[in-house]
Amino acid sequence: MKRTNTFTVRPLTDDDERVLRDLLDASAALWNEINYQRLMRYNDEDGFEGGVWDANTGALEGKYKAVLAASTAQTVRRANSEAWRGFFENKKAYYDESNTSVTKHPEPPGFRGNEDDGRVLKGVVRKDAYTVEWGDRSRVEMVVGEQLRDSHNSPKSRLRLEIVGDPNWPNYDDQGRLELWYDEIDSTFRASQPVTVSPDDQATPLADETAALDIGANNLVACTTTTGEQYLYEGRKLFQRFRETTAEIARLQSKLEEGRYSSKRIRRLYRKRTRRRDHAQEALCRDLIERLYDEGVDTVYIGGLTDVLETHWSVETNAKTHNFWAFKQFTERLACTAEEYDISVEVRSEAWTSQECPQCGSADRTTRDQDTLTCPCGFEGHADLTASKTFLKRHQNSGSSDWRTRHDVSRQRHTEQEVRPMARPVRFKWDDHEWSESPRSPARESPNEQRTDPSTVHRDGNVASGES
């Protein structure tokens, strides 16, 4: 199981900090030179892949190995090669009509800053060129080039730095290459250590229940389980802050001098916007998966993005699904978290689930007004929670050939499983630190609030799941 330890790195002395800065600056400079050579060949060959690999990267490695050490210079080149290979794979998938995994035209690997704005301090260290020790005095030691060996207070050729914080995965079987960077927002050096964790640290599902997720931006996730639980993670406030930051970025960009495309303040806003989204997204995945594990869920269905874009495409929908919500990233993060609990995540079509009336089955007579779905047959309920329940029932009863679970035994078991009567849905709001139950959750509302909130209950008093 692949996981990542992230932690803060603290140089012990001013000399150590200067060495670390020189190391990361040289690593970024080498990346930029390699990337420039490959980008020029890519453009000269009109996008042909073969020309990219003709760049004389060996000479560039030699230019920087006295500062970085040969192993680190080689690792920078390999990291850039992986970025280019990933770009070509995404480009191929984008032009493959049968492949819907890439919906936005990919761009070649970028540069780490420029001379006007200053290079981004970022580097990598080969897996066998560093060691990490956890304990009362946690530290990381890494190899540096001969030009830097006499400039710091660490012994021999290795730079020793203090680590702050506890690792999520202190016991691992193997480690990958270390990534280091300087966080300008917090004025802090940070590190990322990929590790391979033993399967013994993986939990086992408590039962064989199933859940389905409806993904959006007004409500980030609406979830229904076969145990009868429903969860709603609200996202309007998050998306509004995202749009406000985006508008401020656009305002600052309009004031740049001709020929300039960014500034330190703009880059800071971009990173702040991304970190805020990623923090909320990661916390949501963790909170949701832990709740589903406690419910005995072992399979989670998540709706595919293609159906949403084809049915409801608009500028705002595109901004929400791609930029704000980062659907692919969320799916990968959810699957990664679920793996710790041996829960499988499967992407399935959710076409028309948000329009289908669970009471009469109509999809062309229903009307959606913000969070409320209504139908002439008399149904009224929360649109996203209704969609997640319809989505769950559809795939619970499908038994089709595209059904893929980890075990053939599970296929028949899940096909026969019924969705139990719905409990009152629980709402969650983000407070910049964690997802907490909202006072608007139906269980906490007064009878008057229940009667006057059509997005939470039916006109006849039934819950939003669509039971009537």
Query: Taking the CA atoms of the chain, what radius of gyration do you get in angstroms?
Result: 25
d(CA 417, CA 206) in angstroms, rounded, equals: 16
Mean pLDDT within 387-398: 82
Taking residues 162-175, report their average pLDDT.
Answer: 86
- Of all residues in the chain, the percent with pLDDT exceeding 70 is 81
Q: Summarize pLDDT for 359-385 with one digit per residue, the tens.
A: 888 888 888 888 888 999 888 989 899
How many C-alpha atoms does 327 have within 13 Å on its Cβ side? 25
Contacts of 57 (CB under 8 A, 6+ apart): 34, 37, 77
How far, in Å, CA of 74 to CA of 65, rounded? 8
Q: How big is the CA angle at 28 (ends 24 and 33), to the nearest 5 degrees?
A: 150
Please determine, for residue 53, whether its predicted confidence score (pLDDT) is greater than 70. Answer: yes
According to the model, what pLDDT value does residue 317 have? 53
User: With contact defined as beta carbons under 8 Å apart, do 144 and 157 qualify?
Assistant: yes
pLDDT per residue as tens digits for the range 57-112: 889 999 999 999 999 999 999 999 999 999 999 999 888 888 777 777 889 999 98
Name the residue among 194, 211, 195, 215 with its Cα closest to residue 330: 215
Q: What is the pLDDT of residue 401?
A: 36
Q: pLDDT digits over 397-436, tens only? A: 654 434 333 333 344 444 445 666 677 889 999 988 899 9
* Residue 448 pLDDT > 50: no
Lowest mean pLDDT among 134-143, 145-154, 235-244: 145-154
Q: Tell me, what's the pLDDT at 297? A: 94
The mean predicted confidence, pLDDT, of the chain is: 81
The domain limits of the chain are 2-198, 209-452
The per-residue pLDDT for 398 is 57
Structure confidence at residue 117 (pLDDT):
59
Residue 162: phi, psi to the nearest 5? -80, 145
Give the DSSP H/E element, type plus range, for residue 34.
Answer: helix 14-44
Instruction: Look at residue 114 in the predicted model and tell me its pLDDT.
Output: 59
Choice between 182 and 466, residue whose per-residue pLDDT is larger: 182
Q: Give the tens place of pLDDT for each residue, 279-338.
A: 999 999 999 999 999 999 999 999 875 544 444 445 555 555 556 767 778 888 999 899
pLDDT at 406: 39
Phi-psi region of 342 (alpha: psi -120 to 50; beta: other; left: phi over 0): left
Q: Which of 72, 59, 185 is nearest to 129 (CA)?
A: 72
